[in-house]
Structure 1
Amino acid sequence: MANGEQRSAARLAAVQALYQMEMTGKGLNEIFAEFESFWIGNEIEGARYKEAEVEFFRDILRGVLKDQETIDRQLDKTLADGWPLRRVDPVVRAILRAGAYELKKRRDIPARVCIKEYVDVAGAFFGREESGMINAVLDETARQYRAEEFFETRL
């Protein structure tokens, strides 16, 4: 499997893991063990989970947890008035946190690639409305963290 596909699978697994951590209260090491042993690359209830770049998966989870307070504050500012992050669906919250982490810390990945990847993750769970909202929030987040990638030079 190509590196890009493994990273896409790692993003999806990271979102699922962040959601599970929030819903169950499981810790990071327990989630690493569970996902790496039972989910990533395995078949569960007839569904085949793709191989994922494990270190990338781990980086996203560690990064979100380490900077979650800062990430959440930034996302609160970006979301529409009256809709703080805590009021957003927990899967959407996990997608936004993972995407915001990558935009903030993983400058080796172009912002537009990051946004598209998390919009694709959203498409696995939701329809166009939620995917569009995730696109808008991550686009604004990218412009705050990486304005230089969106600056267009004119001749």
Structure 2
Amino acid sequence: MKAPSKRQMRSAARLYAVQALFQMEHSNQTVDRVRKEFEDHRFGATYEGDEMIEGDVDLFRALCETAVSHQARIDQMTDRALVAKWPIARIDPTLRALFRAAGAEMTGQDTPPRVVITEFVDVARAFFPEGREPSFVNAVLDHMAREARPEAF
């Protein structure tokens, strides 16, 4: 099997960051504990015969740590992008983790906002292949990106 490309590894890191942030919220674990678990046991692991791709460790760490250390700011940005009746606390925890990871990349990395949106819409498709969530994610992330990086639009 050939080694994954840098782009594939960055995409995998985003997916892993969403999973890690979900796990941290769900099980009340620290960022360091969850990060270590993912890096030691999830990156490249095999589940039910499917081998998981190696992730970009630096991006994974940056997304998790930025999402945790700037969670209040990212959650406020997400809240402003959501309909008033749906504050971030009321949305699906997987989507909440996704918005936090995407918000971390929008505010803490040099990745173009349109790339962040595309990548995280793909993550939403991975978690919700049959639902309307990817369209919802696209709309919310577009709003967040225009707030976080208006010069890019």
Q: Give TM-score scaled by structure 1 length.
A: 0.92
Question: Which runs of 5 or more structure 1 residues have no equivalent in the other structure?
Answer: 151-155
Q: Does 1:40 align with 2:72?
A: no
CA distance in 1 between partners of 2:14 and 2:37 (Å): 16
In structure 1, what is the Cα distance between the partners aligned to 2:106 and 2:58?
A: 17
1:54-106: CA deviations, max 9, x gaps? 11100000000000011111111110111000000000001111111111221
Which residue pairs with 1:149 in the alignment? 152
Q: 2:86 aligns with which of 64, 83, 99?
A: 83
Q: Hey, what does 1:20 align to over in structure 2?
A: 23
SS in 1 for 2:70: helix
Q: Given the alignment, which residue of 85, 90, 93 partners 2:96? A: 93
Q: Does 1:125 align with 2:123?
A: no
CA distance in 2, matches of 1:125, 1:82: 24
Deviation at 1:116, TM superposition (A): 0.3
User: What TM-score comes out, normalization by structure 2 length?
Assistant: 0.94
* Backbone CA RMSD of aligned residues: 1.0
**What stretches of structure 2 of length at least 5 have no aligned partner?**
none
Partner SS for 1:51: coil
- Runs of 4+ aligned residues of structure 1 deviating over 3 Å after TM superposition are none
The equivalent of 1:113 in structure 2 is 115
Amino acid at match of 2:27: T
Task: Report the alpha carbon displacement of residue 128 of structure 1 after superposing the two structures with TM.
Answer: 4.5
